[in-house]
Amino acid sequence: MKILLVDDSTTMRRIQRNQIETLGIKDIIEAGDGREALTVLKDNMPIDVILLDWNMPVMDGFTFLKEVRAQESYKNIKIVMCTSESEKRGSWRR
């Protein structure tokens, strides 16, 4: 299984990587924003799972999600959106 971590926080990526590695999964790649993630994704297929931060500079997680879901070749990738925001009603609503 190959996992792509997309988060602008290197600390969050390190925490996620450490947790995933305890499950025995070692094939983990990373990107720091949605724009970089699109390139990393294209160059590293097949990828099984993406853990996707919502709030990032350059391209945010929701925009990345829409780009990925618009492409047939990525339809089997499981995407889990992550955020450290805790408000039930917040600025992310569109």
Q: Which range touches Mg ion (CB under 5 A), out of 20-28, 35-43, 46-54, 71-79?
A: 46-54
Binding residue (CB under 5 A) for Mg ion from 3, 4, 8, 64? 8
Q: Which range touches Mg ion (CB under 5 A), out of 18-26, 37-45, 56-64, 70-78?
A: 56-64
Cα(49)–Cα(47) distance, integer angstroms: 6
Binding residue (CB under 5 A) for Mg ion from 25, 49, 55, 74? 55
Binding residue (CB under 5 A) for Mg ion from 28, 33, 34, 53? 53
Number of amino acids touching Mg ion (CB under 5 A): 4
The partner residues of 31 in beta bridges, in order of sequence, read 6
The DSSP line for 56-91 is -SSS-HHHHHHHHHT-GGGTT-EEEEE-----SS-T
30 lies in the site for Mg ion, by CB under 5 A: no
Cα(24)–Cα(49) distance, integer angstroms: 15
